[in-house]
Amino acid sequence: MYRSHNNGALRLAHAGQEVTLAGWVQKVRDKGFMIWIDLRDRYGITQIIVDEERSSKALLETAKALGREFVIQVKGTVIERESKNSQIPTGEIEILASQLTILNASLTPPFTIEDTTDGGEDIRMKYRYLDIRRNPVKDNLIFRHKVTMEVRKYLSNEGFIEVETPYLIKSTPEGARDFVVPSRMNEGQFYALPQSPQTFKQLLMVGGMDKYFQIVKCFRDEDLRADRQPEFTQIDCEMAFIEQEDILEVFEGLTRHLLKEINGVVVDKFPRMDYDDAMRLYGNDKPDIRFDMKFGELNEVTQHKDFKVFNSAELVVGIAVPGGNAYSRKEIDKLIDWVRRPQVGALGMVYVRCNEDGTFKSSVDKFYNQEDLAKWAAKTNAKAGDLICVLSGEINKVRPQLSALRMELAERLGLRDPKVFAPLWVVDFPLLELDEETGHYHAMHHPFTSPKPGQLEMLDSNPAAVKANAYDLVLNGNEIGGGSIRIHDKKTQAIMLKHLGFSEKDAKAQFGFLMDAFEYGAPPHGGLAFGLDRLVAILGGQETIRDFIAFPKNNSGRDVMIDAPAAIDDEQLKELNLKLDL
Ligand code: ASP
């Protein structure tokens, strides 16, 4: 037996007991005649004491030879500590060692294994196994486990069955590139790793599974953005014989359960917002509604004066920054610089100070009088003491620009409290989205999403106006889940694929299996998927998903610990039929 207790278990009540502990040496304090060792494992830290009076010489020698992160086993007696440490649960006792065995030595670790470490991100990723010994990382992994356990518990209780679907499949379009795997046995042919189990979960519905879920890895070869992982985890779900309302209810229930069990937060019914309203009021399809600062559209009250910039703009839109009139001229100039940064891309910003006495002072006083500005204030809901920030230009550009400014200002004003949770359903997404570069429409969600009843015919006449039974769950300005009611008949699916630019032949080659299945009694069905990594990070009050993944990839998609991706040798390439004979 390696240990009788773990290092977080012993209390004063154990005094006098003979125990055996094992773990890592966090710290050795050597006073010459007395040595203290902090022994650590996943459960905590226990202090070990070895001294000249009560311990053998050999024991003292062994203790002196210990270094940080040595793995040791200690036998000894639990005794009351003279100077107690109220910071840790084992702080009232220590172990008077009678035997000390080195189970494994350790090199000096490249960074300190403590809550606040001296190691930078790169070195910690290279030695992630050491990083995992630190409380903040370890606690995050335990936290993630708790969340997934609660998910499984809740969904099982609701009658969902967890079913595994294959990883070596054919392309499932979720809008990214596929990672592919060459097949050795089928020369020149490749599997694709799933961007999601979308088609399989639909086939499970055809198979009569009725309620499916899976905590599953998905793979998307996207251009990497900060905090995106090429492989990530979804809570993937699907139900048969349901309507949108049923789905929203079940998964609102799941989210509410998590908020209660994990965060102790009780949330009422989640509000819902149309996609169009979200875009109009927040410039964004995942609005953070923990704070207000809604957009006020100002075309009506700004155009047809002499200010050319506004007159020629498709959209003039502003927000009221609470208390913003207190900003100095310099601070406002800095804000203007901020919106002009290439990452935001605005050309400039007009502002209005709302003075305490009810008057206004704007950067465009030449063109607008007090009465005009009062109208702007009414539209943006600005109060005395606020600052109105106004941007203008093309709708598709201005909205994200002002949305970025809104989020930045809210952050600065401390309005994005991670302990406050504001979930929101965004519903009625458009079915299609115009790709500005190619001029083609593609599926906003994915090609299996059904149009709203009666809108299929509009695909020809006005494709941009067709709405889908598609919904996203948003939490604190992050999309944590999304899904849709699916197409479940072959004819509609074929029409949809045609509109997405698939020839009949391509549609059959790629999705023939699904459309064939639809001919054998496919039930009406729909579902959604949560992004588990992000969900866990938000519930954990943090923004970085990497911190909740045991072995994440860096921003270039590399695992710097195992050094992947890597070249493979010629033999292997040949075996896979990938070696070009030049
Ligand atoms: N497969 C979708 C996704 O990965 C989710 C869904 O429609 O259920 O976004």
**Which residues are near ligand 1 (CB < 6 Å)?**
174, 196, 198, 446, 482-484, 527-529
Distance 479 CA to ligand 1 centre (A): 12
Q: Clarify whether residues 254 and 343 are in a common domain.
A: no
Q: Clarify whether residues 235 and 316 are in a common domain.
A: no
Q: Clarify whether residues 73 and 18 are in a common domain.
A: yes
Q: Clarify whether residues 241 and 315 are in a common domain.
A: no
Q: Clarify whether residues 264 and 167 are in a common domain.
A: yes
pLDDT per residue as tens digits for the range 446-460: 999 999 999 999 998
Question: Residue 582 falls within a domain, yes or no?
Answer: no
Question: Residue 566 falls within a domain, yes or no?
Answer: no
CA-172 nearest atom, ligand 1: 1
Q: How many alpha carbons fall within 13 Å on the CB side of residue 489?
A: 5
Which amino acid, one-letter code, is at 369? N
Q: Clarify whether residues 331 and 205 are in a common domain.
A: no
pLDDT per residue as tens digits for the range 491-526: 999 999 999 999 999 999 999 999 999 999 999 999
Q: What is the best residue among 238, 528, 530 to mutate for testing ligand 1's pocket, by most ligand atoms within 8 Å of CB?
A: 528
565 cis-preceded (ω within 30 degrees of 0): yes
Residue 320: what pLDDT?
A: 98
Residue 224: what pLDDT?
A: 74
Distance 344 CA to ligand 1 centre (A): 29
Q: How far apart are CA 406 and CA 246, in angstroms?
A: 34
Q: Clarify whether residues 203 and 303 are in a common domain.
A: no
Q: Clarify whether residues 408 and 434 are in a common domain.
A: no
Question: Residue 300 falls within a domain, yes or no?
Answer: yes
Distance 484 CA to ligand 1 centre (A): 8
The token pair that represents 497 in the structure block: 């694929």
In which domain, by residue range, is 485 found? Answer: 138-272+423-548
Rg (CA), the chain: 30
Residue 579: what pLDDT?
A: 77
The token pair that represents 442 in the structure block: 């593609």
CATH classification at residue 255: 3.30.930.10
How many domains is the chain built from? 3
The token pair that represents 397 in the structure block: 């550009």
Residue 36: exposure state from Cβ atoms within 10 A (0-12, 13-18, ≥19): middle
Residue 228: what pLDDT?
A: 87
What CA–CA distances, in Å, run from 99 to 2, 7, 30, 51?
13, 16, 17, 12
| Cβ atoms of residues 41 and 48 within 8 Å | no
Residue 435: what pLDDT?
A: 86
What CA–CA distances, in Å, run from 566 to 126, 179, 257, 562, 571?
15, 15, 42, 9, 15
Question: Residue 97 falls within a domain, yes or no?
Answer: yes
Question: Residue 556 falls within a domain, yes or no?
Answer: no
Question: Residue 39 falls within a domain, yes or no?
Answer: yes
DSSP assignment letter at 461: H
| Cβ atoms of residues 191 and 506 within 8 Å | no
Question: Residue 81 falls within a domain, yes or no?
Answer: yes
Give, using CA atoms, the residue closest to atom 4 of ligand 1. Answer: 196
Distance 481 CA to ligand 1 centre (A): 8
Residue 582: what pLDDT?
A: 57
Q: How far apart are CA 124 and CA 132, in angstroms?
A: 9
| Cβ atoms of residues 323 and 404 within 8 Å | no
Residue 167: exposure state from Cβ atoms within 10 A (0-12, 13-18, ≥19): middle
Question: Residue 318 falls within a domain, yes or no?
Answer: yes
| Cβ atoms of residues 192 and 180 within 8 Å | yes
Q: Which residues of the chain have pLDDT under 70?
A: 580-582
Distance 200 CA to ligand 1 centre (A): 11
Residue 16: what pLDDT?
A: 98
Q: How far apart are CA 405 and CA 391, in angstroms?
A: 10
The token pair that represents 568 in the structure block: 């493979």
